[in-house]
Amino acid sequence: MKTHFATAILLGVLLSAVPRTVPAETYNVDSMHSMPSFTFRHLGLSSFRGRFEQLTGTIELDLAQLRGSADIRVAIDSVNTGVPMLDQFLRSPKFFDAAKFPTATFKSSSFKFSGTQLVAVSGDLNLHGITRPVVLEVAAFACREHPLVKIPSCGADASVTIKRSDFGLDAFIGNDSDEVRLDIAVEALKAPQPQ
């Protein structure tokens, strides 16, 4: 009897010493306040900019363990340069081929923190049916209660420069730059807990 009692106490002590892990929290991307944009050099004269209007996805964050993951989707046919004729060309089979490749995706493999600040996100970018590893540099990161909807929210500004030819998008290289800078502003709201 004493042996069973001592064993129970020992197990209790050991279990209490095991750190309790808090599961990562899920955040849903706020599409109204999230936007990927792109910049390239046009004819060697100026920087030309455009954006995609539809970004969706989920982000998992474990701020206690400084870990995270992201699964982001961009609707290619939502491209908007402010020039309707160019937008039509970009959606066409001559460039993005939005009918065949309707979605670009980014799936992270790791989050890098410096202290409590997120500074980089590594992952795979799939664009135009081709997947390449990229590292998004994070210039700003913050979490706080959203002042309007009163739930936890997080946001970040991230960027990466890619070569569009790496993704089979080589139309007009020579006139327009191969290098394209992607800037991603994202806000996300904590998902409701299952009941």
The per-residue pLDDT for range 18-72, each reduced to its tens digit, is 444 556 799 999 998 999 999 999 988 899 999 999 999 999 999 889 999 999 9
The Cα–Cα gap between 87 and 6 comes to: 74
Q: Quote the pLDDT of residue 9.
A: 42
How far from chain centre, in Å, is Cα 21?
25
Tokens 């106490």, located at residue:
9
The pLDDT assigned to 193 comes to 72
Instruction: Provide the mean pLDDT of the chain.
Output: 87
- Residue 167 and residue 158 in contact, taking contact as beta carbons nearer than 8 Å: no
Mean pLDDT across the stretch 85-104? 96
Give residue 15's pLDDT: 44
Sorted by where each starts, the structural domains of the chain and their CATH numbers stand as: 22-190 (2.40.128.110)
Nearest alpha carbon to residue 154 among 27, 35, 65: 27
pTM given for the model: 0.82
| Mean per-residue pLDDT, 160-179 | 94
In terms of average pLDDT, the best of 14-28, 114-128, 180-194 is 114-128
Judged by phi (left if over 0) then psi (alpha if -120 to 50, else beta), residue 42 lies in beta
The CA radius of gyration of the chain, in Å to the nearest whole number, is 22
43: left (phi over 0), alpha (psi -120 to 50) or beta: left
